[in-house]
Every structure is written in C-alpha cells, then in structure tokens.
Amino acid sequence: MKIETLTDGRRTILKLDGRLDVTWAEHVLNSALELLRGGRHELRMDASGLQYLSSAGIRVLIRIRREVSAVQGSFAIVNPSPFVENALRMSGLGELLECDTPEQDAPDTGTGDVAGAPCSGSAVQKGRGDIDVAGIQVDVHPLGAGAMLRVQATARWRPWTPVQDTDVVNLPFPRPVFGLGIGAAGVDAGDSCSRFGEFAALAGCLSWLPAGGGDTPDYLVEAERFTPSIFAIQGLVAEGAFSHLLRFRPVDKTGLLPLSSLFGQALEVTGADSVAMVCIAEIEGLVGAALSRSPGLMTTADSPGGFPQIRDWMAFCGERVHARHSALLVAFVSRRPDAAVAPYLVPLSSTPGLFAHTHAVVFPFRPLPEGVIDLEPHVRMFFETVEPVDLLHLIEDDRPAVGLGQSTFLRGACWCAPFSAGKGGAL
C-alpha cells in the first residue's frame, strides 16, 4: 500500500495504491487522522489505484467519515474502480462516493468564514482581530460585548494545614458554571476526605483526580435531572457569559503557544486586568503536578510542603507530558488579583506581574472544527466519546538548565471573559 497526499486548495486528496485490507487499515486510518489533526478537514480519497477493499477497509472509511463529520469537514471517495464502487454500494456506503454527493461545497473564500457553524453568527460579523504570536495565528471572535464573569473563591483551604470539617463545601457545577479546585465527589464529605485531589469543571462536566487512587481521573457529566457536584476544600468558581473566543493554530512547523502567551492574548483582547477562561487545545507538552495523597489525611504532625515528605503528597510530571493529546483547560489569570481570589493565584515566573491558576484535564486527541464553535457540545464530546487520562495543576518549571519550562499548545479554542471577584458564598 502506497499513500500519496495531494493538496487541492482546501481539499486534501489521499491517493491510495494497493489493497485496503486488514493489514493496511490501521495505517490508512492513521494517515487520515493525521491530516485531520493538522487542520485538513476536507478529505478526498482517490481510489483509482485501490485494487481491493475488505470489510476492515470499509470500517476504516466509516471511521474516517465519522471523525470528519465531527469537525464539520467533508469526506468522499473519488475515482473508484468498479470493484471498489460495487463494494461500497453493497455495504450501503454509496453516499461516500463523490458522484453521489451533491456538489454542494461552495468555493471557499476565507478561513474565518465557516459553513455549517450555526453559532454566534452576529458576533462574528462585528469584526475580528488577527494576531500573530511567533508562528501561531490567533483569530479573535468577539462573542458578546461587555460580557463579564463573576468569580468566587467558594472553598478556602490553603496548603498545608490539616483539613477541618468546615473547610469542605459541596459545590454543584451546572452547565453555565465552570471552575477548578481541590476536592472529591462522593457520598458525603467524610467519604471524600481520603480522596481529595485536583478537579476542573466546565459545561456540565466535572473531572477530578482522586488522590491515592491510581493515575486516572474520574468524572461526572450532567444529565437530565442530575447536576455534578463535588466536595471541595478549595474552589474558584465562575459564572456568566464569555466575551471572546480565541482560535489559534500554528502557521509553520515551529508554531507553539505557551500558556503565558495565551493568558497575554486573553488579557489584551478583553482589555481587562483579570480574565477567566476555558480552553480546548491540542497539547505540545504539559508541565504540572497533582496531589498524590489527599490533604484530608493530613495530621498536624505532617508537613507535606517540605522535602522529602512532599514526595508522599505530590506527584510531579517529571517531563513534558501528553504531547499530541487534547486538553480541557480552566484558568484564572490576573494582573492585579482582587483580595478575594488573590490567595488562589500564584505569580508566573515566566511573566512577572501575572498571577494565574490553571488545571488541565487531558484526553486522547479529538479534532475540533474551525471557526466559531460552541463550547458545550465539544466539551461533552470529549467526555462522551473518550475518557480523561490525566488531570494536572499546571506549573512553570523554571529550574536552571533542567527546567521543563511551561505548558505549550499547538491549536485550539479559548473562551474567555473579564471577571470580577465576589465575596464567598453559595452561587
């Protein structure tokens, strides 16, 4: 099997030569997914050289079509041999053949103008600014002028003091609310206290890493009458509407977006001193840490902050991790943090004067459609199709020489808005 990739405007043509059977199915699938990951959403498969198509091959074609339609792209097979055409029609996949597809794709005019993206049409028309950050193209889409978030520190435990019963707050996360912190979902506060770990919540989805319970995050997703909630000892919670959507992608092979640059962009675009954001992004490398032992198990005799005891309480990623995965980020950034949230934001060593707190939920890679997209369905798509593999509190490793630096991303979407800090209390 030989695969040739040709570009025809926005379309990318995969020219296959040989037999698409079980031996080569995986390879063809990966080639197609790789193109999809690279932002090529209009795929055609030139089947003129395809001698044979087995059911394994057909399964691959179905899978490619599913992945492509998830990002509102298009996929069709062109120039099939009679055998391939017959095989496709026999399996009820005739619509995959280009000749059967109505010639609907209008000539593509601009990158930001996305067909089939039903959301926020009016916002897009208000105009957008394009910004370049060293090899990264950032498109700015205003969503709602003057939109503002209210942020509260709803649970206020600080490391490293033993957890009191009064520290534990049950935080619900309905769809419009997002946030991050430390906690664990469970039957009651007492049941959770041995598993407190980092959590992040957005779009009705809540994920947390139970400390001491292995390495895999657990999660809850909002359903008809169920709202995810967590027993938290620390929580920054935001509610309200987003003012801007930033879409970023690399324009050349070196393009990377460091987290601090994303923060800078968000602050600049919103013109605010404090911004809260959620983000879906392809990871280039994450640097972070997480609790490996619940603070709820701490006694007054423990001092988890000191070395080497900290090894029992925290796990550090040790290297830049989760490249080529997707991350859901929840972040709070400020130049001048209000006293109510200041204790929960830490200074960034890479960018003096900036304070932030970021949690990242890591998933296997899923592509995103281009242009203006809605947060909620895409977040849910992650929780419904794949499972989270990790959850990290992102940090900047500024050790000289051996430091891992900060987390960086390749492409993604970031919804943000200025926030004002409110006093604590139930939302």
Partner 1 sequence: MLTSTAGTGGKSMMLEIRGLRKTFFPDTPNEVRALQGIDLDLSEGCFAAIIGTNGSGKSTLLNAVAGSFLPDQGTVRIDGVEITRWEEYRRAQYVGRVFQNPFAGTAAGMTIAENIGLAMRRGLSRGLRPALPRQVRDAMADRVRTLGMGLENRLDNPIGTLSGGQRQALTLLMATWLKPRLLLLDEHTAALDPKSAAQVAALTREIIEREHLTALMVTHSMQQAVQLPNRIIMMHQGRIVRQYSESEMARVRVPELLAAFDRIRRREQLDPAVSDILGRQYL
Binding footprint of partner 1 on the chain (CB under 8 A): 158-159, 214-215, 234, 289, 292, 305-308, 310-311, 314-319, 343-344, 346-347, 349, 357, 393, 395-399, 402
Give the count of beta carbons closer than 10 Å to the beta carbon of residue 14.
21
Give the count of beta carbons closer than 10 Å to the beta carbon of residue 338.
16
Query: From the CB of 402, what's the least distance to partner 1, in Å?
Result: 8
User: Could you write out the three-class secondary structure of 230-269?
Assistant: EEEEEEEEEEECCCEEEEEEECCCCCCEEHHHHHHHHHHH
Q: Which is nearer to partner 1, 370 or 397 (CB)?
A: 397
Q: What is the CA radius of gyration of the chain?
A: 23
Query: From the CB of 391, what's the least distance to partner 1, in Å?
Result: 14
- As given in the structure block, the two tokens for residue 297 are 């198990």
Q: Which is nearer to partner 1, 372 or 395 (CB)?
A: 395
Query: From the CB of 387, what's the least distance to partner 1, in Å?
Result: 15
CB 354 within 8 A of CB 249: no
Q: Which is nearer to partner 1, 155 or 177 (CB)?
A: 155
Query: From the CB of 59, what's the least distance to partner 1, in Å?
Result: 26
Query: From the CB of 349, what's the least distance to partner 1, in Å?
Result: 8
Strands 257-258 and 244-250: unpaired
Largest CA distance in the chain: 77
Query: From the CB of 50, what's the least distance to partner 1, in Å?
Result: 36
Q: Which is nearer to partner 1, 26 or 398 (CB)?
A: 398
Q: Which is nearer to partner 1, 140 or 168 (CB)?
A: 168
Q: What stretch of H or E contains 391?
A: strand 390-394
- As given in the structure block, the two tokens for residue 230 are 């967590």
Q: Which is nearer to partner 1, 76 or 182 (CB)?
A: 182
Q: How far apart are CA 43 and CA 25, in angstroms?
A: 17
CB 286 within 8 A of CB 244: no
Q: What stretch of H or E contains 62?
A: helix 55-70
Give the count of beta carbons closer than 10 Å to the beta carbon of residue 213.
15
Query: From the CB of 260, what's the least distance to partner 1, in Å?
Result: 13
Distances (CA, A) of 302 to 100, 144, 313: 69, 48, 10
Q: Which is nearer to partner 1, 247 or 293 (CB)?
A: 293
Q: Which is nearer to partner 1, 164 or 254 (CB)?
A: 164
Q: Which residues, at least 6 apart from 393, have a Cβ–Cβ distance to it below 8 Å?
A: 198, 288, 289, 290, 357, 358, 359
Bridge partner list, 423? none
Q: Which is nearer to partner 1, 47 or 298 (CB)?
A: 298
Please provide the size of the chain in residues. Answer: 427
Query: From the CB of 215, what's the least distance to partner 1, in Å?
Result: 6
Query: From the CB of 406, what's the least distance to partner 1, in Å?
Result: 10
